[in-house]
Structure 1
Amino acid sequence: MSAYRKHRFAASIREQVRPLYQSNNWRGGLAVLGDYAAIGLAAAGGARWPWLAPAAILVIGSRQRALVTLLHDGVHLSLARARWLNRFLTRWPAGFAMFQSDEYYRAIHVPAHHGHLGDPQHDPDYVGFRESGLLAVTSSRAFLRGFFFKTLLLGNALGNVRELVTGRIAYMAGKRGDLARLAAAQAVVAAALSWLAGPLGYVWFWLVPFLTVSHVLAWFLEITEHYRLFGEDRSELEITRNRFPCWWERCFFGMHGETWHLTHHLFPGVPFWNLRRVHEILLQDDAYRAANAARGGLLSAPAGRVSILREILDDIDRTYWRPL
């Protein structure tokens, strides 16, 4: 069971949200095409003008992370209205192409994370925070050194490779047909990138951004969503964050409704393109409005808001401060 107090929205608010659960058969596919178009253009540009390669890797890594966000929508059955189309988009361009089994992701995300949100033993996010050492951090300096800058400077790159092999691929090896599906998806990506960017295109413009930029963004997003929020006797409005970043941060951290994580947890079946509208409806609720009043993005903060990094650092020091 989840470890929080449910927040009850007024019936009039829930009634306004209800129509926004409706998905369609074009927005999800268009989002997938947009991400792959950006990846293709970046790869072609990076191959043609090598001085653009670092920027291309940044763009590709951010779009790979965006595809995982679409995988997330897919396991909630909201990426497309037609079940077969939702399954295709989730399994292939957003799943196996991203070294991810849609069935595995659904198992750890929907019943485990959503079903046990904030549970120290059963929520994968809570367990991950504990196993990584995040819950043992007692100073802002230790957090910055061990979890922010180390991640940013790719100190976890070898761990990313290990997790890919011993986690995702090992799981697929135990499921009939999954390794063949993974190989087929990667072969299609490799062929396309070889055509666009030469024989090493797959390595430089798929594997490198996936193991570096995409993983860095994924780790930072995990921190922004729930870190320092889990605890006893909290409302569900208090254990998940929405983010309100500046435009430049949104380019990397804000695609496909990623910024509306609290809104998503409150109404998990809503398609990503409707989450902003749901947020605007929920602002009629005083407690929800207060929960979203002052928070910015991970690093950036529009006027009157505070970045989540600043919020986390202040909370760590406030919790563990000791007088001299």
Structure 2
Amino acid sequence: MAKKLEKAVFPRDIKNEWKPLYKKKNYPNIIGLSLDWLVIFGSAYLTIYTGNLLLYIISIILIGSRMRAFDNLMHEACHFSLFTSKFYNKWIACIFVAFPIFTSYTAYCDSHFQHHRNLWDEENDPDTKRYRIVGLDKPQEDTRKFIKNHIVKVLFLFHVPKYILGTVSANLYNKDIPKTELWTRNILWLGIIVTFIIFDFWMYLILFWFIPMLTTFQIIRYWAEMAEHSGLNNDTELTASRNTFGMPWTIFLFHPHHDNYHLVHHLFPAIPHYNLKKAHTILMKNEKYREAHHCIGFFKTTLPGFYSVVKDICTPNHKSKEGEL
């Protein structure tokens, strides 16, 4: 039997406040996407120019984080919130966001719509299935075991083969992907590879794209997705997702484009990411929302009285939380 979460209900006065937040604009994502690519090209250029190994390590961390930013902008496009034009919403997302990280626009949208319709339904929610496979569908009983399996092993990339297999099966061999999308992606990547070979830049493509894609991006993606719902297999919308707060640099690396307001997004998926913070501020007037899962810090809380993401995942839901945001 399909699982349906109890809907969150809010007073009319709060609803009236967030109505303007549904309005979509083009410029926030034009700026955001441009800055993401600027970080990628800028960090690669500085590393090549200086030849500094430490700077290379920093650059692949930054590039991996911008690949996660592309994940999140693809997520915006899926909800038709990247650009106001449906054509640009899809094709700018495909060419500048999805295809560079080998994501299919159509496959992503199909999977994500199922996730929203069937959150925590073990049969119909693709994300729940992935959580169950890696053992993150329930609160973790042993913190040390959790750290070993989901922090240390991930840091050493033990999970990457499964992630690659999942990406290949979902995005490269999916029969539901339109031919126009497949051909555009293949031509784009063929053009990129041939160009880099002709101009003898092929090593830079490996060093500054494929290496971060297979290393830092996979670590950041795993931990960021873990923060969204892990251990929250509950019966209500308000307790099935979490918001994550922390230092600006951790939000930049792990939750670009306001991905840290994940609970707000699940409550109101049509609100564009650049308005989620405002929506959160409005929702904080509601007592039940204030009691939801709001974490500060990822590994360790940066504010006494509040759980970090790791502590929240490792705490059974029936136990009271240390604080409320």
In the superposition, the TM-score normalised over structure 1's length comes to 0.88
| Alpha-carbon distance in structure 1 between the residues aligned to 2:156 and 2:200 | 26
Tell me the SS of whatever aligns to 2:295.
Answer: coil
Take 1:106 and 1:253, find their aligned partners in 2: how far apart are those partners? 22
Structure 2: distance between partners of 1:138 and 1:119: 22
In structure 1, distance between residues paired with 2:19 and 2:197: 45
Cα deviation for residue 286 of structure 1 reads 1.0
Distance 1:211 1:129, change over 3 A: same
Cross-structure match for 1:63: 66
For 2:33, give the aligned amino acid.
V
Q: Distance in 2 between matches of 1:272 and 1:256?
A: 6
Whether the aligned pair in 1 keeps the contact of 2:21 and 2:275 (CA below 8 Å) is: yes
CA change 1:55–1:214 in 2 (3 A) is same
Q: Which residue of 1 aligns with 2:248?
A: 247
Distance in 2 separating the partners of 1:118 and 1:83: 30
Mapped partners of 2:28, 2:203: distance in 1: 32
The equivalent of 1:144 in structure 2 is 147
SS at match of 1:242: strand
- Compared CA separation, residues 214 and 188, structure 1 to 2 (3 A): farther
Greater mean deviation of Cα atoms: 134-143 or 90-99: 134-143
Q: How does 1:16-31 map to 2 (within 5 A)?
A: 16-31=17-32
Asked whether 1:296 is paired with 2:289, we answer: no
- After TM superposition, the structure 1 = structure 2 runs for residues 182-201 of structure 1, keeping only pairs within 5 Å, are 182-187=185-190, 190=193, 198-201=201-204
Q: What is the letter of the counterpart of residue 126 of structure 1?
A: T
Partner residue, 1:321: none
User: Cα offset for 1:161?
Assistant: 3.2
CA–CA distance in structure 2, aligned partners of residues 192 and 172 of structure 1: 29
1:119 counterpart residue number:
121
User: In the alignment, which residue of structure 1 is the partner of 2:111?
Assistant: 108
The answer to whether residue 134 in structure 2 is matched with residue 132 in structure 1 is yes
Instruction: Give the SS at the match of 2:76.
Output: helix
Residues 174/123 of structure 1: CA separation in 2 closer, same or farther (3 Å cut)? closer
Bigger shift: 124-133 or 162-171?
162-171
Whole-angstrom distance in 1 between the partners of 2:272 and 2:254: 18
Is the contact between residue 40 and residue 193 of structure 1 (CA under 8 Å) also seen in structure 2? no
* Alignment counterpart, residue 99 of structure 2, candidates 93, 96, 106: 96
Write the distance in 2 (CA, Å) between the matches of 1:259 and 1:173: 31
Q: Distance in 1 between matches of 2:57 and 2:192?
A: 20
Given the superposition, is the C-alpha separation of residues 187 and 125 from structure 1 closer, same or farther in structure 2, using an over 3 Å criterion? Answer: same
- Is 2:90 the counterpart of 1:87? yes
| Aligned counterpart, 1:285 | 286
Percent of aligned pairs with the same residue?
26
Is residue 2:219 matched to residue 1:216?
A: yes
Deviation at 1:69, TM superposition (A): 0.2
> What does 1:49-60 correspond to in 2, within 5 Å?
49-51=51-53, 52-60=55-63
- Report the equivalent of 1:237: 238
Letter in 1 for 2:250: E
Report the Cα offset of residue 174 of structure 1: 6.3
